[in-house]
Chains A and B, each alone.
Chain A
Amino acid sequence: MSVETAGTALARPIADRIAWALRDGLVLTKRNLLRYVRIPTLLVFSTVQPVMFVLLFRYVFGGSITGLPPGARSYVNYLLPGIFVQTAIFGATQTGVGLAEDLASGIVDRFKSLPTSRSAVLAGRTTADLFRNLFVVLLMTLVGYLVGFRFQDGVVKAILGISLAVLVGFAFSWISAAIGLAIKSLEAVQAASFVWIFPITFASSAFVPLAGMPGWLQAWARNNPVTIWANTLRAFTLGGAYVASTGDSLLALILKSGAWIALILAVFVPVSIRVYRKT
Chain B
Amino acid sequence: MFVAPARPRYDSPMSERPIILAEGLRKSFGDVHALRGVDLAVAPGTVFGLLGPNGAGKTTAVRILTTLLHPDGGRAEVDGHDVVRDAEALRRVIGLAGQAAAVDPNLTGFENLEMVGRLYHLPVAEARRRSREVLERFGLADAADRPARTYSGGMRRRLDLGASLVGRPKVLFLDEPTTGLDPRSRIELWDVIRELVKDGTTLLLTTQYLEEADVLADRIAVVDLGAVIAEGTADELKAQIGGEVLEIRVSERSRVAEAAGAVLGLVPGGGKVDNNTGEVTLPVGGNGPAILTEAVRRLDAAGITLSDIALRRPTLDDVFLQLTGREVREVERAAPGRARRRRREVEP
Contact B116 A109 (CB under 8 A): no
A106-B100, A106-B101 given; A114·B89 CB < 8 A: no
Q: Is A35 close to B, CB under 8 A?
A: yes
Name, among A24, A35, A39, A110, the residue most crowded by chain B CB atoms within 10 Å (CB to CB).
Answer: A110
Assess whether B102 is in contact with A115, with CB atoms less than 8 Å apart.
no
- B227 close to chain A: CB less than 8 A: no
B 50-71 to A, binary, CB cutoff 8 A, 1 in contact else 0: 0000000000000100111000
A residues 68-125 near B (Cβ < 8 Å) are 105-107, 109-116
Chain A's closest residue to B101 (CB) is A106
A6 touches B89 (CB 8 A): yes
The digit string for A1-26, where 1 denotes a CB below 8 A from any CB of B, is 11101100110000000001001100
* B159 → A minimal CB distance (Å): 12
Write the nearest CB–CB distance from B81 to chain A, whole angstroms: 9
Contact check: which of A38, A105, A113 meets B91 at CB < 8 Å? A113
A31 to B163, CA, bound (A): 15
The A-contacting residues of B in range 115-142, CB under 8 angstroms, are 115-116, 118-122, 126
A197: CB under 8 A from chain B?
no
Interface pick from B2-10, B166-174, B253-261, B280-288: B166-174
Separation of A28 and B89 alpha carbons in the complex (Å): 21
Please classify the interface of chain A as helix (H, G, I), strand (E, B), loop, or mixed, using the class held by over half of its residues: helix
Q: Contact check, B102 vs A107: say whether CB atoms are below 8 A apart.
A: yes
Q: Does A110 lie within 8 Å of B163, measured CB to CB?
A: yes
Does A255 make an interface contact (CB < 8 A)? no
Residues 23-58 of B, flagged 1 when their CB comes within 8 A of A and 0 if not, give 000000000000000000000000000000000000
Say yes or no: is B324 at the interface (Cβ < 8 Å to chain A). Answer: no
Return chain A residues, CB-CB under 8 Å to B88. Answer: 115
State how many angstroms separate the Cβ of A123 from the closest Cβ of chain B: 13
A219 located at the interface, meaning its Cβ lies under 8 Å from any Cβ of chain B in the complex: no
Is A275 close to B, CB under 8 A? no
* Chain A positions within 8 Å of B111 at CB level: 31, 34
| B94 beta carbon closer than 8 Å to chain A | yes
Alpha-carbon distance A106/B59, docked complex (angstroms): 13
Chain A residue contacts of B93, Cβ below 8 A: 2-3, 6
What's the nearest-Cβ distance from chain A to residue B176, in Å?
12
Q: Is the CB of A31 within 8 A of B107?
A: yes
> When the two chains form their complex, are residues B96 and A113 in contact, meaning their CB atoms are under 8 A apart?
yes
Does B169 lie within 8 Å of A2, measured CB to CB? Answer: yes
Which B residues touch A160, using CB under 8 A?
none
In the bound complex, residues from chain B placing their C-beta under 8 Å from that of A106 are: 98-102
> Any chain A CB within 8 A of the CB of B305?
no
For the complex, is B147 an interface residue (Cβ under 8 Å from A)?
Answer: yes
- Which one, A1, A111, A112, contacts B122 given CB within 8 A? A1
Question: Nearest chain-A residue to B169 (Cβ)?
Answer: A2
B168 pairs with A1, CB closer than 8 A: yes
Contacts known (A27-B115, A106-B100, A107-B104); A115 close to B170, Cβ less than 8 A: no
Q: Which residues of B contact A109 (CB under 8 A)?
A: 63, 68, 96, 98, 100, 102
A6 → chain B, closest Cβ, in Å? 5
Partner pick for B68 among A9, A31, A112, CB 8 A cutoff: A112
Assuming the contacts A2-B92, A2-B168, A34-B106, asked whether A112 and B119 have C-beta atoms less than 8 A apart, the reply is no
**Contacts A6-B93, A38-B147 hold; do A27 and B102 have CB atoms under 8 A apart?**
no
Q: How far is the CB of A91 from chain B (nearest CB, A)?
A: 19
Q: Do the beta carbons of B91 and A110 come within 8 Å of each other? A: no
User: Within the assembled complex, what's the spacing in Å between the Cα atoms of A27 and B113?
Assistant: 12
- Taking CB atoms and an 8 Å cut-off, the chain B residues in 267-308 that contact chain A are none
Q: Does B103 contact A (CB under 8 A)?
A: yes
Chain B residue numbers with a CB within 8 Å of A1 are: 122, 126, 168
Contact of B106 among A5, A9, A35 (CB under 8 A): A35
User: What CA separation (Å) do A146 and B102 show in the bound complex?
Assistant: 44
- For window 72-109 of B, CB contacts with A under 8 Å fall at 88-89, 91-96, 98-107
Nearest CB of B to A99, in Å = 14
Closest residue on chain B to residue A9 by CB atoms: B92
A107 neighbours in B (Cβ, 8 Å): 102-104
- B119 contact set on A, CB distance < 8 A: 24, 27-28, 111, 114-116
Chain A residues within an 8 Å CB radius of B169: 2
Q: Which of B63, B89, B116, B119 has the most A CB atoms < 10 Å from its CB?
A: B119
C-alpha gap A1/B115 in the complex (Å): 17
Pairwise interchain contact A113-B68, C-beta atoms closer than 8 A: yes
1/0 per residue, CB under 8 A from B, across A37-51: the answer is: 011000000000000
Contacts of B94 in A (CB 8 A): 113
Q: How far is the CA of A118 from the CA of B267 in the complex (A)?
A: 59
Taking CB as reference atom, which chain B residue is nearest A26? B118
Which residue in chain B gives the minimum CB-CB distance to A113? B96
CA distance A107 to B103 in the complex (A): 6
Question: Knowing that A20-B121, A110-B102, A116-B121 are A-B contacts, what are 18 other residue pairs whose CB atoms are under 8 Å apart, sorted by A's residue number?
Answer: A1-B126, A1-B168, A2-B168, A3-B170, A10-B89, A23-B118, A31-B104, A39-B106, A106-B100, A107-B102, A107-B103, A109-B68, A112-B67, A113-B91, A113-B95, A114-B91, A115-B92, A116-B120
A-B contact pairs, 21 of them (CB 8 A): A1-B168, A2-B92, A10-B89, A23-B121, A24-B119, A31-B115, A38-B106, A105-B100, A106-B99, A106-B100, A106-B101, A106-B102, A109-B98, A109-B102, A110-B102, A110-B163, A113-B66, A113-B67, A113-B95, A115-B91, A116-B91
**Across the A-B interface, the 6 shortest Cβ-Cβ residue pairs:** A106-B100, A110-B102, A113-B96, A106-B102, A116-B119, A38-B106
